[in-house]
Structure 1
Amino acid sequence: MNVPLWIWAAVLGVIVLMLAVDLLAHRRAHVIGVREAAVWSVVWITLGLAFGAVIWRFWGGEFAAQYYAGYLIEKSLAVDNVFVFAIIFGYFAVPREYQHRVLFFGVLGALVFRGAFIAAGSVLIASFAWILYVFGAFLVLTGVRMALHRDETMDPGRSVVLRLFRRLIPVTDEYHGQRFLVRRSGRWVATPLLAVLVLVEVTDVVFAVDSIPAIFAVTSEPFLVFTSNAFAILGLRAMYFLLADLMHRFVYLKLGLALVLVWVGVKMLLLDVYKIPTGLSLAVVAAILAVAVGASWLTTRPGRAGKEPATAGAGEDAEADGAGSS
Structure 2
Amino acid sequence: MISVGTPLLWTLFVAFVFVALFVDFFAMSKQGAHTVSMREAVIWSLIWVATSFVFVGWLWWYLGGLDGDLATKTLANAKALEFITGYLVEKALAVDNIFVFLMLFTYFAVPPAYQKRVLMIGIIGALVLRAIMILVGAWLVNQFHWVMYIFGAFLIFTGIKMWLATGEEPDLDNNPALKWINRHFKISPNYDGEKFFTVDNGIKMATPMLVVIALIGIVDVIFAVDSIPAIFAITTDPFIVLTSNVFAILGLRAMYFVLASMHERFHLLSYGLAIVLVFIGAKMLLIDIYKIPVAASLGFTVTVLAVTMILSLRIPPRAGHTGTAFPFSAKERDGESDETK
Under a length normalisation based on structure 1, what TM-score does the superposition of the two structures give?
0.92
Q: CA deviation at 1:185?
A: 7.1
Distance 1:56 1:126 in 2: 25
Specify the alignment match of 2:321 in structure 1.
Answer: 310
Instruction: For 1:177-196, list aligned pairs within 5 A.
Output: 177-183=193-199, 188-196=204-212
Amino acid at match of 1:49: F
Q: Does 2:11 match 1:15?
A: no
Distance 2:170 2:251 in 1: 23
Distance 2:42 2:214 in 1: 27
Q: Does 2:163 match 1:152?
A: no
Specify the alignment match of 2:72 in structure 1.
Answer: none
Distance 2:228 2:245 in 1: 8
Q: Which runs of 5+ in 2 are unaligned?
A: 64-75
For 1:197-222, what per-residue CA distance to the aligned partner results, in whole angstroms no more than 9, with x for missing partners?
Answer: 11111112111111110000000011
Instruction: For 1:64-213, list aligned pairs within 5 A.
Output: 64-183=80-199, 188-213=204-229
Specify the alignment match of 2:70 in structure 1.
Answer: none
Q: CA deviation at 1:245?
A: 1.5
Q: Does 2:244 match 1:228?
A: yes
Distance 1:217 1:93 in 2: 38
Q: CA deviation at 1:7?
A: 2.1
For 1:273-304, what per-residue CA distance to the aligned partner results, in whole angstroms no more than 9, with x for missing partners?
Answer: 1111111111111111100111111224xxxx
Distance 2:58 2:240 in 1: 12
Q: Which runs of 5+ in 1 are unaligned?
A: 301-305
Q: 1:88 to 1:318 in 2, by over 3 A?
A: farther
Instruction: For 1:263-302, list aligned pairs within 5 A.
Output: 263-300=279-316
Amino acid at match of 2:9: I
Distance 1:224 1:153 in 2: 36
Identity of aligned residues (%): 42
Q: Does 2:268 match 1:257?
A: no
Q: CA deviation at 1:141?
A: 1.3
Amino acid at match of 2:267: V
Specify the alignment match of 1:323 in structure 2.
Answer: 338
For 1:139-188, what per-residue CA distance to the aligned partner results, in whole angstroms no more than 9, with x for missing partners?
Answer: 11111111122112433222211111122222211101111223557775
Number of corresponding residues = 321
Specify the alignment match of 2:66 in structure 1.
Answer: none
Amino acid at match of 2:255: M
Bigger shift: 205-214 or 186-195?
186-195
Distance 2:77 2:9 in 1: 19
Bigger shift: 287-296 or 54-63?
54-63
- The partner residue of 1:24 within 23, 26, 41 is 26
Distance 2:77 2:235 in 1: 13
Distance 2:145 2:169 in 1: 36
Q: CA deviation at 1:52?
A: 1.4
Q: Look up the SS of the partner of 1:315 in the other structure.
A: coil
Kept in 2: contact 1:251–1:309 (CA 8 A): no
Q: 1:156 to 1:218 in 2, by over 3 A?
A: same
Specify the alignment match of 1:46 in structure 2.
Answer: 50
Amino acid at match of 1:22: D
Kept in 1: contact 2:264–2:322 (CA 8 A): yes
For 1:56-84, what per-residue CA distance to the aligned partner results, in whole angstroms no more than 9, with x for missing partners?
Answer: 22230101111111100000000011111
Kept in 1: contact 2:82–2:294 (CA 8 A): yes
Distance 1:127 1:98 in 2: 44
For 1:31-72, what per-residue CA distance to the aligned partner results, in whole angstroms no more than 9, with x for missing partners?
Answer: 001101000101111111111112222230101111111100
Kept in 1: contact 2:276–2:304 (CA 8 A): yes
Distance 1:164 1:91 in 2: 17
Q: Does 2:18 match 1:2?
A: no
Distance 2:319 2:13 in 1: 44
Distance 1:127 1:201 in 2: 29
Distance 1:308 1:45 in 2: 34
Q: Look up the SS of the partner of 1:26 in the other structure.
A: helix
Q: 1:21 to 1:46 in 2, by over 3 A?
A: same
Q: CA deviation at 1:315?
A: 3.3
Distance 2:163 2:228 in 1: 19
Kept in 1: contact 2:4–2:239 (CA 8 A): no
